[in-house]
Each structure stands twice: as C-alpha cells, then as structure tokens.
Structure 1
Amino acid sequence: MTISKSDLLKKIDEFPFWYHKIELPNGIVTPGWAPINRDSYGIPADLKGKRVLDVGAWDGYWTFEALKRGAKEVVAIDDFSDYLGNLEESDRNAWGTFDLCREALGYSEEQCKRIEMSVYDVSQEALGRFDIVFCFGTLYHLRHPLLALDKLSSVCQEEIFVESAISDDFSPYRGGLGQGYSGGQMVMEFYPNNEYGNNHTNWWAPTLQCMAYMVNAAGFKDVEGWKLIDNPKELPHCRGFVAGKK
C-alpha cells in the first residue's frame, strides 16, 4: 500500500531525530544531515546483483542507496549504541525510521532485511556471505575495531568500504583542530571518556594511514584511502575512507 504524501510527512515528524537525509517519493527528504558528501564514499555506481551488508545502518541511507544502485539484497545491522553524545534514549527509535523509509520506497523485507546485532556477532553462520560490505560511521565507536574488521572480512568475498573519524587533522591531546597527525603516522588515539566530540561512545580515531593498514591486516588487498576534505575546518569534516578488495 502506498503512503500518501501527507501521511508520510506526518510519520516523519513523529520521530524526534533523524541522522540520515533520505530521498523518498513525492520530493520528500528526511530531515537528517548525513552523509555530508555522498560521492566521497566511493561506492560503485553499479551494484547490480550484489549482496550487501550495511553495518551501523541507522535510518538506512546506504541500505537504500545500495538497492537503488541495483543490489539484489541488502542486510542492515545496528545495535543502536550511539547517541551522538547528547541524544536521549527516546530520540533513537530502533528500526522505526528505517521501516518507514523502507515502506515508502517500496522495498520488501526479503530485499532489505534488518537485524539488531553487534558487529562482533557477524558470521557466515548467522548472515551468510556478502559481495560488498559497508562499514560507515562505526569503526571509531568500537572498543575492538580490528576484531570487528576481522569479523567483516570473514563474510566478505569482494570489497569493503570503511568510513571513520580520523586523527590526521584533529587531536584533543595535541591542541584540537589542525593539530593532528598530518605526516602519515601509523597512529590511533584512544578516548577513554568523551575526549572526541563530547561523545563517550567515540573510543578511537586512527590516522588514515593506520586505518588503511588495519583493513589490509583484516585480509583485504589493493587498499586505498582518502580524506573527506583535505584541510577540514571543523570536527565533523575530519573523516576518512578506505576501500579494500579480496
């Protein structure tokens, strides 16, 4: 059943917080702010026939984007542990926003399954194998990031795409913005409290160089990395990307 424009707008407004800005039918876009620059993620334009895993899916932007690009099936996982340092528990409505967008976009549960689970529980037995893995906005929230990459590698048979906060241009221990590790150092900073972005779920920020070698250590070859912005002027823009192939 198709949702009317007025009903869809009403349902969108019922959710107190949106992370992703997702294009829905009738010219509607959800009131989130991420991704900052979709094209910077480097995702292939053609994902025809691919099976994709979207880790840390939140509202589902990349899940639905993969389907728009031809993926035959996408599995979205999230454990809803990130509150951005300031959200109330009532601000996160589990899969509510995801389900609303999936319904509005007309995707079936078979095409677009979502599972509440930790990345540490990812396995072939639980999920099967995937051609492509997305791990966006997740790595720096993990207490055990290399273990997580190993888990994702175990179910990935082609390519992984990772996006994370990086410490190349920001370090709370070295003076803040513009005082990171800009020389290609193999460094990952640890944040035991809320040192990074005032968010206690931000545990680590690797340099881009370090993140690339972490992905390589997890079993991926032909690894390449790039920054969101060469010289970021604000903390949300201190982000990096790594892609690796099996």
Structure 2
Amino acid sequence: MAITTEQSLWKIKLAHRAKSFWYPYATLRNVAVLERLSAMAELNLLQLCRGQYGKIADIGAADGDLAFFLEKQGLSVDLIENESTNFNRLEGARILKHALDSSVAIRSVDLDSQFPLSGEKYDAIFLLGTLYHLKNPFLILETLARMTEYCFVSTRIAKQTADGQPLSPYPIAYLLGPKECNNDNTNFWIFSEEGLKRLIDRAGWNVVSYLTIGDTTHSTPADPDRDERAFCLLQSKTSPTLSASPNPVPAGERMGKTTILWNTANGDAGKVYVSTNGREESLFATSRQGSAAANWIRAGSTYEFRLYNSDHTELLAKIAVTRARQ
C-alpha cells in the first residue's frame, strides 16, 4: 500500500511542479522498515499509532509523503518541519495538502532554537532522517520524551572514518564539515552505533527494537556509497505507559488471557481501572508500576484499561483489549 501511495503522490507532484522541485528521496520505502521494527517488539504499527491522544506527528517530514500516507490509514497527523531548511520551503507539502483535500496540520518549527509544541501530546512520533540535521540532538530527544510514549527514529551512523579509523567500539559522534556530506551544510552529527544508543538512553528513552540497513560493515560519516542507517523504535522513560500482551487475545474455547503492564513513570502511585463495553469502570490494580493477568477476556467484548494517578483525577494512559474470533 505504501508503494502504491508513493506512485499516486508522484503523479500529483509532477502535475503541479517539475521533478527537480520535489524532495528526491523515497520516504515511503521506510514504511516496510517501520513495520519490521514494530513486529520485532510484537506490536502493530498502526495500532501503536492509535491511542488516547488521537494524533501522531511526523517531524522532519520533507514533502509530507509519510504524513499523508498515515492520514490515509485513518490517523490524524501533524506535519512538523523547518520551513527555512526544507527542500522546497514546505511549498511541496502545502501543494499536496491542497490537492489531496487533506486535514494534515502543517507546522513550521526550528527544532534547534525553539519548540512551541512541547506541550502537545501524541500517540507516536516519527523522527526519520532528521537527527543528524540538528545541532542539538539532546534537545529534541529530551523534548519528545515528554510528548509521547513511542518514537520512531532513523539516522545515519558510521562504523569508521573515511581513512579507516574505527568508530563502532566507542560511544562517540563525528562532526561533519559544512560541505562534507551531500554538499549540505545542515548535516551535523553522525553517531557511532554505541554513541547513538547512549544518546537515546541519556535523553530519556529505552530502545524497544533496533535494526540497521545499507552498508552495515564499512560505513563512514559522509561517503554516499558507504551509508548506514539505524532505525529505532523508542519508548519514553518519562511518559506513563500501559500495555497489554497479547492484544488481541488469541481465539480459543476457554476464557482468554492477557497481561497488563503499567508504569506511571514519575514515581508516584497509580491505579488501573477496567471498563467492559463502555460500562462503569472497576479497579483492576494499584501500584506505581507492575503487571497483572486479566484471564477473563471474551470474544465480542472490548475491555478498556485506564491508568490514573493515585487520586483518580488524571488519566495517564489507556488501552483497549479485544479477543480474536475463531
């Protein structure tokens, strides 16, 4: 479906502007990688994007191909880009939004000097091919950890320097010269794999799943023929979490069973309630973090689990659990 969408978007693009006007890279080819990352964590990409906040964000979105694709899947999307450094100053995204009669919100933000959206909450955030364009990668990752539970990140990494000096054993980053990589002075930090993982950890995230593509043996910071990309699914350490596994619960003759896991993330006590088919909720568990089995899941019913603060005045997270039919 992503490739079909890519082809249809190109028809629209070329009907409005010459090919040279548009961002040249095939961003929707990343959807298959994102699905792999989700599957590695036993999650479904689209299900992960559907949560209590009702929206996701695509940051560093180029012409917005991914944002428009995800909207087509029924999601509400904010497209966040820096207009001054965007390939066509966001004119391409605006053309597509109008042509598609899209509801995607386009927001121009300089991620290095301001983040006026820091009070927003999203079910998931996509930060693909953007981290190495930022002067301060700590700032963006720390900010996003307070805005969402899950974040998909991709960035260029390197195993060695151009003259063969090893980078991969060390938690370091290589600072590019202004024209060193793609003749693009908006490229800054290329991390080693260990450097990227340490950055992620210290910025407030856990790595849920991780993979690399491209030249995974002799990658360098700038050589276009020795380009390695790391893709990560991250889970915030500072955002409350609530999950169910498995979900949906497999079909069977007996009552279905799933395990509910939760964490308030701020050290305070929490309460987990459950509501069946929209009826009055009842207390399921009480603690700051933990896990508990729900062994009474029936086919045809929907069980909404809700994590609250200790005095039951603030909803921190929620998840709907169902059971597959035979």
Q: TM-score, normalised by structure 2?
A: 0.56
Mark the CA change 1:239 to 1:51 in structure 2 (over 3 Å): closer, same or farther. same
**Alignment match of 1:165 (pick from 147, 150, 156):** 156
Residue matched to 2:101: 106
Residue matched to 2:63: 59
- Residues 193-215 of structure 1: CA deviation (Å, up to 9, x unaligned): 32233322111101223222222
Mark the CA change 1:207 to 1:122 in structure 2 (over 3 Å): closer, same or farther. same
Higher strand share: 2
Aligned equivalents of 1:19, 1:10: Cα separation in 2: 12
Q: CA RMSD in A?
A: 2.9
Q: Which runs of 4+ in 1 moved over 4 A?
A: 7-10, 231-234
What SS class does the counterpart of residue 211 from structure 1 fall into?
A: helix
Count, aligned residues: 210
Residue matched to 2:311: none
Instruction: Specify which structure has the bigger relative contact order, considering alpha-carbon pairs within 8 angstroms and separated by 6 or more residues.
Output: 1
Aligned equivalents of 1:10, 1:239: Cα separation in 2: 29
Contact 2:168–2:193 (Cα < 8 Å) also in 1? no
Once the two structures are aligned, what percentage of the paired residues are identical? 23
Residue matched to 1:29: none
Aligned equivalents of 2:153, 2:72: Cα separation in 1: 20
Residue matched to 1:78: 81
Q: Output the amino acid matched with 1:208.
A: E
Mark the CA change 1:10 to 1:135 in structure 2 (over 3 Å): closer, same or farther. closer
- State the Cα distance separating 1:56 from its structure 2 match: 0.9
Query: 1:1-246 counterparts in 2 under 5 A?
Result: 8=12, 11-14=15-18, 16-19=20-23, 32-41=25-34, 42=37, 44-46=45-47, 47-48=49-50, 50-71=54-75, 73-82=76-85, 92-108=87-103, 112-120=104-112, 121-123=114-116, 128-156=120-148, 158-168=149-159, 171-172=161-162, 174-175=163-164, 181-183=167-169, 185-229=170-214, 230-231=216-217, 234-235=224-225, 237-246=227-236
Higher helix share: 1
Q: Output the amino acid matched with 2:191.
A: P
Give the unaligned 5+ runs of structure 2. 1-8, 39-44, 237-326
Contact 2:12–2:96 (Cα < 8 Å) also in 1? no
Q: Output the amino acid matched with 1:239.
A: R
- Residues 129-149 of structure 1: CA deviation (Å, up to 9, x unaligned): 111111111110111111121
What SS class does the counterpart of residue 53 from structure 1 fall into?
A: strand
Mark the CA change 1:116 to 1:37 in structure 2 (over 3 Å): closer, same or farther. closer
Mark the CA change 1:8 to 1:144 in structure 2 (over 3 Å): closer, same or farther. closer
Aligned equivalents of 2:130, 2:27: Cα separation in 1: 13
Aligned equivalents of 2:64, 2:218: Cα separation in 1: 26
Give the unaligned 5+ runs of structure 1. 21-31, 84-91
Mark the CA change 1:215 to 1:10 in structure 2 (over 3 Å): closer, same or farther. closer
Aligned equivalents of 1:16, 1:202: Cα separation in 2: 21
Mark the CA change 1:235 to 1:70 in structure 2 (over 3 Å): closer, same or farther. farther
